[in-house]
Structure 1
């Protein structure tokens, strides 16, 4: 009841101030604004901006990562196409003004050919970075590299699953100050508390993938719908 009285009082004060500036037109002005908000003509300030990182047309905002022996990267039909390289092929964001915690990063990916990871996602964790690896180490390992110096095949995030070729998979990485969570087709596959853990990238070429990167290893793959949004922890 107290909250309702306070709200009504605030509205009354607001209307009084409007009348001082707009006279009898104040009520009409409020009605127009409310109607505009209801129809979507006015977007409230608290709504979040478009979370898309990939525009579906070209690699604006991205750079092709300079991996030795990397395959070609092209945009076609609203998708990023990775050709098979000698080792790693990938892209990374060309800017670093991004959230470093309290965010979700997602992408859809398809393995066309190959037998290793086809959409490794590198992302910030506070002041450091980690990589979510789907289908690494011969095509079946899913996990985070690296934790306490151990890569995804060696630490407790490792799980094993088979990824079918020519099938789209949805990946989502959620980072807060307390944990890293990773989802595969909305199934939770990594749930890692961060307290007293050392998070870092696996030493080697993947270090070029910061601040946000997507990479494949000796695979032909496709990626689409790459999005980044801030969240409330």
Structure 2
């Protein structure tokens, strides 16, 4: 065999090329499998994605009349700064009780709330506000007719621009809970209390996310029932 290769250099080249291609194929397949495994590992069991990272499928740009431009860019939904609310509203069915929502949000420009999430609680609706009233206010609007800045869920938190925050909402038969970056900021038992929303976000029902005179970005929006 070796003598044949020495006599025929062309044969040697062909065999060497074939071996190279085989080796490249062997190394590329595990890399592809590793990439797919990583994607599977990142998807938490029981959670449904509400945003594909490419389009607004399932969503509608909320026609507040004050909204700025809303578009998908680089895997995020960008809510452009308007004269009031800019946002999106979910168009498919949505649970009314015993569910969780996770998303990432960041404030790009502006100094008011960058995540106003309106959601159902049984037959009522409520909104979670992150960064309202000039930037620091976190809480639920409304409780017994009082805004997040006025009721007992009010807390203050500094939000930096161009920083992603992980927001986790939980709605159960007795409580509304919200965590930001695993820090519990809302733990509210609503039995015997009146939940409502401000008229500015009526169009966000049953589930919607908006910002107020602020450019915001949203990504990795998930629902678990």
Per the normalisation by structure 2, the TM-score is 0.79
Residue aligning to 2:48? 51
* Corresponding residue number in structure 2 for 1:100: 96
- Aligned residue-pair number: 183
Q: 2:179 aligns with which of 183, 186, 193?
A: 183
What per-residue deviation string (whole Å, max 9, x for no partner) do you get for residues 3-41 of structure 1?
A: xxxxxxxxxxxxxxxxxxxxxxxxxxxxxxxxxxxxxxx
Give the distance between the partners of 1:185 and 1:200, measured in 2 at CA. 26
Offset at residue 76 of structure 1 (A): 1.2
| Counterparts of 1:50 and 1:184, CA distance in 2 | 18
> What RMSD over aligned residues (CA atoms) do the two structures have, in Å?
1.5
Counterpart check, 1:83 vs 2:99: no
Could you list the per-position Cα deviations for residues 25-69 of structure 1 after superposition, in whole angstroms to 9, with x for gaps in the alignment? xxxxxxxxxxxxxxxxxxxxxx96651111111000000000122
TM-score normalised to structure 1 length: 0.76
Runs of 4+ in 1 over 3 A off after TM superposition: 47-50
1:145 positional shift: 0.3
Structure label with greater radius of gyration: 2
Secondary structure of the residue that 1:215 maps to in structure 2?
A: strand
Cα shift at 1:106: 1.4
Q: Unaligned 5+ residue runs, structure 2?
A: 1-43
Give the 3-state SS of the residue equivalent to 1:147 in structure 2.
coil
SS at 2:120's partner residue? strand
